[in-house]
Amino acid sequence: MAKKKILVVDDEEKIVRIVKAYLEREGYTVAAAYDGKAALAMARAEAPDLVLLDLMLPEVSGWDVCRSLRAESNVPIIMLTARDEDTDKIVGLELGADDYVTKPFNPRELVARVRAVLRRAESPQEKRRMVFGDLTVDLDKHEVRHAGRLVELTPTEFELLRVLAEAPGRVYSRMQLLDKVQGYAYEGYERTIDSHIKNLRKKLEADPEKPRYIVTIRGVGYKLGQGGYA
C-alpha cells in the first residue's frame, strides 16, 4: 500500500521540522510549504492525501488557501492556528476544514488527529443506500445526491451525515456527534459540530434557514428528518 502523503504548511521552520519528524516516524510521506502561494502550487502538483494548514501565512493567508483548496477538491484539511479564538476556528471550519489544532500542540495529538481524519476519508462502509425525500446517502459508493445531483462533501461532513442517516429521527447531542465523528469529545470542541452542520445545510437544503433534513432540536442537538431506506 502506498504511503499517505501529508502536506505541512507553516511559515515556522521549527514547527515544520518537528511535525515532519513525527509524521515520518508514523510512516507518512511529508511535503512542506512555508507560505500560502507555495502551498497552493504544491497541493495542486503533489495531490496530498491531507493538508496541515497554518492560518497565519505570508503571501496568501491560510483562510484563502483553505477556500481555494475546498473549491477544487475534498482533500482533508486540518488547520493549525496560534489563536485560541472561537471565531477563527469557526471561520476555518465553515470554509471546509475538517478539524483544527491550536498551537502550542502536542505532536502526538496532532498525529492522532491526522490518523482520525484520514480514517474518515477512506473508511469502508456497509453496502447500504438510504433515501430521505430527495436526499440519497450511498454508503457503498461513499456519495450523496440531492434531487439526483451529486453533492461534494468533505470527509467530516460525510461522516457526520452518515451518523445522522443511520438513525433517522434520533436526536444526537453535539458531544455525542463529536465523539462519533471525530473520535473524541473534548469539552469546548463541541461547537465545531455547529459549523459542520451549517456547511451541510448549505449543500443539502433548499433553504438552509428552514432545514428539512438536518433538524435542530433546541437545547438538545440535531437529528435527520425525512427518513426512509431503499
Residue 198 domain-assigned (yes or no) = yes
Residue 51 bridge partners (DSSP): 7, 77
Kindly state whether residues 45 and 74 are assigned to the same domain: yes
Query: What is the pLDDT at residue 186?
Result: 57
Pick from 67, 95, 122: which residue ends a domain?
122
Report pLDDT digits (tens) over 207-229.
888 888 899 998 889 999 864 44
User: How many structural domains are present in the chain?
Assistant: 2
The CATH number covering residue 64 comes to 3.40.50.2300
Q: Is residue 19 part of a domain?
A: yes
Enclosing H/E stretch for 156: helix 155-165
Residue 178: predicted pLDDT: 83
**Is 230 part of any domain?**
no
Q: Give the per-residue pLDDT at 35.
A: 95
Residue 18 lies in a domain: yes
Say if residue 117 is in the same domain as residue 137: no
Q: Looking at the structure, do residues 103 and 87 belong to the same domain, yes or no? A: yes
Together in a domain, 105 and 153 = no
DSSP state at residue 191: T
CA proximity to 54, closest of 98, 16, 6, 10: 10
Same domain, 93 and 48: yes
Stretches where the chain sits below pLDDT 70 are 1-2, 83-86, 88, 123-127, 183-190, 226-230
Backbone angles phi, psi at 222, to 5 degrees: -135, 155
Q: Using CA atoms, how far apart are residues 85 and 55, in angstroms rounded to an integer?
A: 12
